[in-house]
Structure 1
Amino acid sequence: MAKPKIKLRCETRSDFTDPAIALALLSCLEAQSSLTPDKVSHSEPIDQPYGGVEKFIQDWWGKPAKMLLQSGQGGSIEFLQSVMLKRSKRPAYWAKIEFRDPNDPRHGVPGSIMLESIWEPKIDYMVVLKDWCEALNASFGSLHIFADEEVNGYHRLLESLPTEDEKDELYRGINFFRAGLFESPLNGAIPNLGWATFISDEKLQNISFHDCGQLEGRVEKVRHGKIFCVSHEISSTIDDFSTFSRQRHALKSCFPADFFMIKDEPILS
């Protein structure tokens, strides 16, 4: 049986090229000691020595690049290069930092940081989520372990839907969720709740949670938003997915019906 993987992602529409933000993001990993990266690069293969936060900022953070447009169009566009990090030792992981596109007048391409790792129960990933959301002035953040039961359940749910339009919407939601993405570019809906999901105050401003009743998880107020935890322990996503799924269904029912792309839980369908 494959070891479970944890996926953590934060997304922002703010400019985060300030080196102080790089210091906050990387210092959070180094504070966990076993999450300190050992390799860095702008692209695959990730094979250059990390060398610490200061060297990372000097050599890799917010570096501009230029891309020539296709033949016949002429000219070029400038952008900030993504940065990839890797840790080879246990717990092994890779991470990617992408800067917001300042050339997009709609600010439709947000910046983000994402980390995918073999889950290590001794690591407090919730601290990383909180620190990253605050450092980035995040609009969304998520922390989740994808159980085989969940992935397989969504495929069964797809097969049960009666229309192609319903299948297409759920298929997009599943792909966005598994990729750790937020906000559909089509309608602004969020794919799904992870075990812990940060949602900004701006997104929550017109939602009332007074009629939610007694939920099993918890809600934590952090700067600029709230973190919604489906259950008290992230291990519930793999230890008892059936219960986790029902708890997530109860929490999602507190939001407007069109807030999520994935509206049904596979275990309840």
Structure 2
Amino acid sequence: MKPYVILALTTFHDLNSDGFGADLYSLISQIEPRLLPQRAGWLGTLSASVTSIEDFAALWRNDRQIYTSQGRCGKRESTGINMGVEWTRRSAIKNKGKIIHRGIKFSNQAEALVLHSEWRARVDWLELFRRLCLLTKAAHGMLHLYCPDETSGFGPDKRSLYQREGIHGQQAFTYSIDPYGIRRPPGPGDPNLKTFRQLPELTWATWLGSNFDGQYDRRSLKDMVVNTAETQDGFLFTITDQLGDIMDDFVSFRNRRDAVKASGFPETFFQTD
């Protein structure tokens, strides 16, 4: 398998708001125009051609609820789900992205943006990641380069699934351990959905929003990591200086990541299945 890059952001900000599609397109074009979408749509049907910011912006704020027929009269009732925009680029730099919206019935559910791209060393991935964290008002953000040395060790467990598909969505962060030692995800209306307790894994670049306050030692982390950036809403850092370090020497990267985890996080912060 060829190496690939994933950027994933989890947020409580409304990604279906007016202007977000245009802002996203503009941000990508400023950092790396070769990542701009060419086709877009919903539910895997990417029938809309995208050649301009206007094309992409027009896909936002459309009523894309999923309905189900109820009763003899076939009355349409919403399932409570709005479908987010999906997009792809089939020429270099090949990539695909998607938006995941919160459920309609619960205001305390998160949204997400996920970008999956082929690897190119000359892209300013860190600046793209930093700007996306700010644009989405991220509660958590991850940027990682997945190479065969790492992906060959992935299994069928949920932790590996999150890594393969990008760490995003509240269930990646909000599991708790019940008195019987079983991991339990909170339900859709549970107030603990905004309490982020864990991470499936630490990626090369991580954004920790205020939802993680109290779950890590920022002072210790600063002594171990590089490329740090702080705002009142969160803390961004990387494990090594360059994203390509993962592929150049994965064993060294893995050892460095383990050291950062041991220094900056309580033992209970990282949970496995």
TM-score w.r.t. length of structure 2: 0.80
Query: How many residues of Structure 1 are paired with residues of Structure 2 in the alignment?
Result: 245
Aligned to 1:24: 23
Q: Which amino acid aligns with 2:15?
A: F
CA distances 1:103-137 after superposition (whole Å, capped 9, x unpaired): 125x23x2111111111111111111111111111
CA distances 1:117-176 after superposition (whole Å, capped 9, x unpaired): 111111111111111111111101111111211123355xxxxxxxxxxxx9xx222212
Deviates more, 1:197-206 or 1:74-83: 74-83
Q: Is residue 37 from structure 1 mapped to residue 23 from structure 2 by the alignment?
A: no
Find the aligned partners of 2:221 and 2:127 in 1 and give their Cα distance.
26
CA shift for structure 1 position 36: 1.5
| Runs of 5+ unmatched residues, structure 2 | 177-196
Aligned to 1:6: 5
| Runs of 5+ unmatched residues, structure 1 | 156-167, 264-269
Q: Which amino acid aligns with 1:20?
A: G
Contact conserved, 1:134 with 1:223, CA < 8 A, in 2? no
Higher strand share: 2
Aligned alpha-carbon RMSD (Å): 2.5
Identity rate of aligned residues, in percent? 20
Find the aligned partners of 1:216 and 1:81 in 2 and give their Cα distance.
37
2:84 to 64, 82, 85: 82
Question: Which contiguous aligned blocks of 4+ residues in structure 1 show a shift greater than 6 angstroms?
Answer: none
Contact conserved, 1:141 with 1:198, CA < 8 A, in 2? yes
Contact conserved, 2:70 with 2:77, CA < 8 A, in 1? no
Aligned to 2:267: 257
Find the aligned partners of 2:143 and 2:272 in 1 and give their Cα distance.
17
TM-score w.r.t. length of structure 1: 0.81
CA shift for structure 1 position 71: 5.0
Contact conserved, 2:12 with 2:138, CA < 8 A, in 1? yes
Find the aligned partners of 1:80 and 1:229 in 2 and give their Cα distance.
34
Aligned to 2:184: none
1:199 to 195, 204, 208: 208
Structure 2 vs 1, CA of residues 212 and 224 (structure 1 numbering), >3 Å: closer, same or farther?
A: closer
Task: Report 1:176-195 matches (<5 A).
Answer: 176-182=162-168, 183-187=172-176, 188-195=197-204
CA distances 1:190-209 after superposition (whole Å, capped 9, x unpaired): 11111101110231345333
Find the aligned partners of 1:141 and 1:11 in 2 and give their Cα distance.
6
CA shift for structure 1 position 53: 1.6
